[in-house]
Structure 1
Amino acid sequence: MTTAPAAERAHAPARRRAPRRGRLPRTRIDPVSIMSFFLIVLFVMPARYVVGPLGGAGSPSSMVAVLLLVWYLFSTLSPRWTPLRGRQPVRLVVVLFALAVLASYVAATTRPLSGDELNAADLGLVLVAGWAGIALVTADGVPDMDRLETLRHRIVLGASFPALIAMIQFFTGIEVTSYMALPGLVEKGASVLFEREGFFRPSGTATHPIELGVVLAAVLPLALHGAIYCRIPERRRRRWMMVVLIAGALPMSVSRSAILGLFVAMVVLLPTWRPEWRLRAILIFGAASIVMRVLIPGLIGTVVNLISVIGSDENSTTRTGDYDAVVQAVSQRPLFGQGFATYLPRVYRVIDNQYLMSALETGLFGLLALLVFLASGWMLARRARRAAADEETRHLAQCLAASAAVAVFGFGTFDAFSFPMITNLMFLLLGLTGALWRLQTTSAQGHG
């Protein structure tokens, strides 16, 4: 028999262990905060400063992007930390693009390669790994619409910085980014400002004025969305200031790609706006053009002239003259190309068209992967718009579609994959569009 004291001890409630002091509860790492750090590196640090031995793949933004992929892959190994949440078309797009690059790499090893070409091919794989990390972390990591809006705002805020730097460069002729290099980085590219028709052509923290102009044209729709739908007066003024900053710096790049990219974005947005919004936009555009003429005489005329002579000027004829050489090179290696990143301008020639460059380097398979990448941003944005239940979200989806349209056009005017800021941004916007699609379709199914 058990004695009374022994029975009491046997049935007494177990003592709770005192919680250990000094330990914080486990929380999920916020992907939006990680991407915000990436945006600082992407937009604030001048893109032409790189880690010397790595060349183009050694830009700080590209290195952070690779770490994003590593983090993403390790996160998927744990059910607790995995970012995977059901279907996500962006994953398939990224895998297709990566396979096209890998296939071109294998194809490149079947022909004699110079040391420079082999190094470029290796570093190209590093770049693609980073682009994949950017898109996947964003597409699968954004948890809800509030955090998606936070990331959208921070993209606009980040793009406002090179716009501000570009204005300083345009008006002063001082290359201020020469004073922004971090210790240990080396300069890749010229440190002097380009000029055209008597105007300085600023590049901000980008590597080239064309890159800056297309970046600003792609981000402007997102800036307009934030300003239009901001409900707090103090914040609304700041957001309209960012719109003015981005839109004002865009023509200062003196780039046809930038102006035509702006036109493409407006063609996508204006038909979906309310009539009073369209009227107001037209009036603001007219007033801004007059102010620009007064403050910067000759700039508007120069930009209009650059557009009017497309097809007949030396720049256009030089680009179209590339077609015969491209057709001949592609016919030799039609399926997988000569190897991603191996068509070196100093060895062959400059190709100011990413579609032609992709056909050369990754073949028809790689060109198809590029078209899928660009088209998927548009299609996912449009599907998210149809699934959205409120006007604000539908407008955001349309703005992302406008950004995708800018990329579709812009990739035909310069070899975009040779420029880190625009390429990283477009993979980021693809991820953002994928996140919006996921959140809206999941919500629609939940209410169905």
Structure 2
Amino acid sequence: MTYRSSFRRRRKPPPINPAPAPATTLSSVYCFLLLLLPSQYVIGPLGGAGTPAGVFAVVILLAYLLAWLAPRSTAIRQPQPLRIAMVLFGAAVLASYASGMTRQLTVLEINGLDRGLIIAAGWIGSALIICDGVDRMDLLEKLRRRVVAFGTAIAALGVLQFFTALDLAQYIQIPGLSLSVPYSSVHGRDEFNRIAATAAHPIEFGVVLGLLLPLALHGARHAPPELRRRRWAQVMLIAAALPMTISRTAMLGAVLVAVVVVPTWTRKERRRAYVLFGAFGVVMRLAIPGLLGTIFALFENIGNDSSTQFRLHDYSAATDYFSEHPWFGRGFGTFLPNLYRILDNQYLVTLIEMGVIGSISVVVCFGTGWVLARRARRLSDDPELRHLAQCVAASVLVGAVSLATYDSLAFPMCAGLMFVVMGFAGAVYNIANRAVPQETPISTSSEPVLQTS
């Protein structure tokens, strides 16, 4: 005698992700376009929303959404807090779009509203494709290496600009692309060349380097012996280019990286790091006299310089604009500097453009990225994955703090890389969570299961 259930053929569980490699490839292409092509070059008819990276990010989002229709795409059907955070952010952008359409808009504001919707869609797609598509440690490590390699390339370009005053815009000619705004990759400050490389502004470039630095540190610390020198050279190059931006935001990012990452190392590694920091400072002082003094002066005069004064005036100005549409804002992408004013604080800009609801969604996105990365570190027993999670948490923190120091979401390279980093946070959480042994439920059935020979 046998039960009918004993003759049923058990279906094989579907794979977690039948084709994860395309997600890694798509993300790599996006990061290449994001970091190596100047963001001022756009596909002419599309305007500010037509950067190659932005257009490709929208394609990525469409590919991600189509994956939901595939019956075997089970990876993106697993519970994922970052996905919920991105959905909330997208809903807040749509709500601000609707709120913006309820008032009288200029042509420039209507264009900004449409542009903001497209750009936000690309950000969400770039984060989700990494979070849900790059679901193995080897694939995530491959993507990390590529992103750091791209970052090292622009860091090298920045160092070259610092010493030679090379203006990249004079030499780049990309068929099919045109400059959306006049562009110069070298600026001046206190007799130094303030570098921007392929970024729109030195502050943006400094934040980008700060986002990349912990990812480069992870690769150097866990590099195989034959690649160790190369990986540490990448770290040194990124770290050397960072102060050449002559930006308080960039230096604050470097400090945050050191505070978050270095304490997790062994005592021997920490001692080496302190010696290395000191040696790095001495070399920079000898090689570039006056640079470190200029940077220290930025912090010594932080309460008196014009930059700080303008930032303090931002709060009173923002209050008036915010009170007009407090809940859903004036519309994401409509607070244009040429129509209103520049606010060097993205949190204030978000309050004005997206209201309280939108501001909460932005905080939730960065908070979720931080929590997931830290949670992944606690869940995993793998030293390499634990260290990567801590480095990703550092990158997320750099991005979150930079929102308070300038209008970072208005700069395509920096904003795009922030969402890439949040995608990394979701990916490390998925990998760590899947490696945790799951308790096998105990059957409560009293019926015997008879087998046949």
With the length of structure 2 as denominator, give the TM-score of the two structures: 0.90
Q: Go from structure 1 to structure 2 and tell me whether the alpha carbon gap of 1:27 and 1:346 turns closer, same or farther (over 3 Å shift).
A: closer
Residue type at the aligned position of 2:112: A
1:295 paired with 2:271, answer no
Aligned equivalents of 1:28, 1:327: Cα separation in 2: 46
CA-atom RMSD in angstroms = 1.5
Alignment of 1:65-104 (within 5 A): 65-81=57-73, 83-104=75-96
User: In structure 2, how many angstroms separate the alpha carbons of the residues matched to 1:28 and 1:338?
Assistant: 39
Aligned to 1:221: 214
Secondary structure of the 2:226 match is helix
How far 1:191 moved relative to its partner? 2.9
CA contact (8 A) 2:399 2:418 kept: yes
Q: Superposed, which structure 2 residues align to 1:405-424 within 5 Å? A: 405-424=397-416
For residues 388 and 285 of structure 1, the distance between their equivalents in structure 2, rounded to whole angstroms, comes to 29
Between 190-199 and 310-319, report the one with greater CA deviation: 190-199
Q: Does 1:434 align with 2:436?
A: no
Q: What are the equivalent positions in structure 2 for 1:368-407 lying under 5 Å apart? A: 368-407=360-399
- Correspondence for 2:199 among 206, 228, 242: 206
2:311 corresponds to 1:319: yes
1:93 maps to amino acid: A
Distance change >3 Å, CA 447–CA 308, structure 1 → 2: farther
Work out whether residues 265 and 406 of structure 1, in 8 Å CA contact, stay in contact via their aligned partners in 2.
yes
Q: In the alignment, residue 214 of structure 2 is paired with which amino acid?
A: P
Question: What aligned pairs does 1:47-446 form with structure 2 within 5 A after superposition?
Answer: 47-81=39-73, 83-192=75-184, 193-231=186-224, 233-446=225-438
Note the C-alpha offset of 1:272: 1.6
Residue identity opposite 1:285 in structure 2: F
Work out the CA distance in 2 between the residues paired with 1:234 and 1:273: 22
Greater C-alpha radius of gyration: 1
Find the aligned partners of 1:292 and 1:35 in 2 and give their Cα distance.
Answer: 35
- Matches of 1:329 and 1:80, distance apart in 2: 48
Matches of 1:28 and 1:318, distance apart in 2 = 47
Please say which of residues 119-128 and 28-37 is displaced more in the overlay: 28-37
Equivalent position amino acid for 1:272 in 2:
T
Question: Separation in 2 of the partners of 1:447 and 1:269?
Answer: 32
Paired with 1:189 and 1:253, the residues of 2 have a C-alpha distance of 21
Deviation digits for residues 103-124 of structure 1 (CA, Å, limit 9, x no counterpart): 1110011110001100110111
Q: Which stretch of structure 1 is more off in the superposition, 276-285 or 125-134?
A: 276-285
Distance 1:351 1:302 in 2: 24
Q: Encode CA deviations 1:150-193: one digit per residue, 9 max, x unaligned.
A: 11111111111111111111111111243233112111333332
4+ residue stretches of structure 1 with deviation over 6 A?
none
Q: Deviations over 1:262-295 (max 9, x none)?
A: 0111111122221222211111111111111111
CA distance in 2, matches of 1:28, 1:145: 11
**Is the Cα–Cα contact under 8 Å of residues 256 and 303 in structure 1 kept in the other structure?**
yes
The answer to whether the 8 Å contact 2:183/2:200 transfers is no
Distance in 2 of aligned mates of 1:433 and 1:406: 13
Q: Give 1:19's aligned residue.
A: none
Paired residues for 1:32-47 under 5 Å: 32-47=24-39
Distance (Å, rounded) in 2 between the aligned partners of 1:95 and 1:198: 46
Tell me the SS of whatever aligns to 1:50: strand
- Count of residues paired in the alignment: 422
Q: 3-state DSSP class of the match of 1:180?
A: coil
Distance in 1, matches of 2:299 and 2:59, equals: 41
Q: Which amino acid counterpart does residue 381 of structure 2 have in structure 1?
A: A
Q: Secondary structure at the match of 1:120?
A: helix
Structure 2 residue identity aligned to 1:224: L
Conserved? CA contact 1:49–1:181, under 8 Å: no
Residue 446 of structure 1: CA displacement?
A: 4.1
| Contact persistence 1:45–1:180 (CA under 8 A) | no
Q: Deviations over 1:4-41 (max 9, x none)?
A: xxxxxxxxxxxxxxxxxxxxxx9665211121111211
Contact kept in structure 2, 1:76 and 1:83, CA below 8 Å = no
3-state secondary structure, aligned to 2:436? helix
